Amino acid sequence: MPKGLHGGDAGSRLSRASTRLDVLCHDVSLGVRNQRHFDDLESEAQAIAGEIVAAFRQPDVRQGGCTNLRRRM
């Protein structure tokens, strides 16, 4: 299995990120109210992007052990 992928863990994480992305897309479709709102939307987009990347790079923390894949080799 490619490094970082642990069965359903990546799928579960991507599913959660997908749900958040759906909400973000809906919020954006309603229009940006002001600069603060834009900043909040951008911040959420960055967080979602981080979740997507993390799904491929980090093992499930419930399994225990080191989450730094470079150290596990």
pLDDT classification of 9: cutoffs 50, 70, 90: confident
Average pLDDT, the chain: 82
Domain membership flag for residue 63: yes
Question: Does 26 fall in a domain?
Answer: yes
Query: CB–CB of 10/55 below 8 Å?
Result: yes
Domain count, the chain: 1
pLDDT for residue 66 is more than 70: no
Predicted pLDDT of residue 70: 58
56 in any annotated domain: yes
Please indicate, yes or no, if residue 50 is contained in any of the structural domains.
Answer: yes
- The reply to whether 3 falls in a domain is no
Helix and strand numbers (H, E) in the chain are 3, 0
* Enclosing domain of residue 54: 8-72
pLDDT computed for residue 58 by the predictor: 74
Average pLDDT over residues 33-46: 98
Within a domain: 1: no
In this structure, is residue 2 part of a structural domain?
A: no
- The rounded distance, in Å, linking the Cα atoms of 35 and 64 is 41
Query: Does position 7 have pLDDT exceeding 70, yes or no?
Result: no
